Amino acid sequence: MKLMEGKRGVIFGVSNTHGIAYGIAKQLFEAGAEIAFTYAGEVMEKRVRPIAEGMNAKVIMSCDVTKEDEVKAVFAELEKIYGKIDFVVHAVAFANREDLTGEFINTSKAGWDLAMGVSAYSLVSLARNAKPIMNEGGSILALTYLGGEKVVANYNIMGVAKAALESSARYLAENLGKHGVRVNCISAGAVKTLAASGIDGFGKMLKAAVLKAPLKRNVTLEDVGKTGLYLLSDLSSGVTGEVIHVDCGCHCVYASQDEMELIGK
């Protein structure tokens, strides 16, 4: 019997086959899970539908996570098709391009509200609407990044939004724990994805990560996907309120020997 056989859930945020959400979906599907997919608008549907159909999805729906009625509609459909579900993956984030360059101090109020609403509050909305149909032992997973803990050049408002996301996950873990539902985050290292390409200087971030990381490489989608599978399966039955770093150890190093030698030159 496969690890996720008989488990059903939904992923918000798959956009292409090069993203972290896809890496998690692939691991879940191969482990026997039934996965529902959402997309944001017609343009994204063209990318998401072939992926979802390739994984035999019974539910493929449009959902703007900032609109409560659309979130409710997704979970109503999941209840209609599945009755109960076992997992929810939150892989949704957005900020204006101009707020991911220059200095954080210049973030506009509108830019702040947009990034916070899409990237952080949406987790609260998804959890609230998932709660009535989550099986005991269920798991909610959100994707974050080290920029929520430390300053990362040009991450700006997204770093603050990720900090809010991580804190929200802890409060949700406390709220949902009594119902047997766990809430965790994966803090993935820098991965060459479509979303990451919007960050100014991202190529340099990838090179810097290799210098700093104890494993001396960048993390892969498979690395992150495997950890996602662990957190969404019964293997992590006693884990909640956690931010698990999957970044080849980057987060634990202040200055590596390689960096020191480079500076010395």
- What letter does residue 44 receive in the DSSP assignment? H
Quick one: tokens of 30?
């191969």
CA distances from 43 to 10, 16, 40, 63, 192 (A): 20, 12, 8, 13, 21
H/E stretch holding 245 reads strand 243-246
- What letter does residue 95 receive in the DSSP assignment? -
Measured distance CA(205)–CA(225) in Å, rounded:
21
* Residue from 155, 171, 230, 254 carrying the catalytic annotation: 155
Q: Is 155 a catalytic residue?
A: yes
Amino acid present at 170: R
Q: Is 121 a catalytic residue?
A: no
Quick one: tokens of 29?
């599907």
Quick one: tokens of 224?
């992150």
Amino acid present at 133: I
Measured distance CA(147)–CA(185) in Å, rounded:
14
* Residue from 22, 39, 82, 145 carrying the catalytic annotation: 145
Measured distance CA(182)–CA(81) in Å, rounded:
23
Q: Where are the alpha helices (DSSP H) in 100-236?
A: 109-116, 122-130, 156-177, 202-212, 221-232
Looking up tokens 């409060």, which residue turns up?
171
Measured distance CA(103)–CA(86) in Å, rounded:
41
Indicate which residues carry an active-site annotation. 145, 155
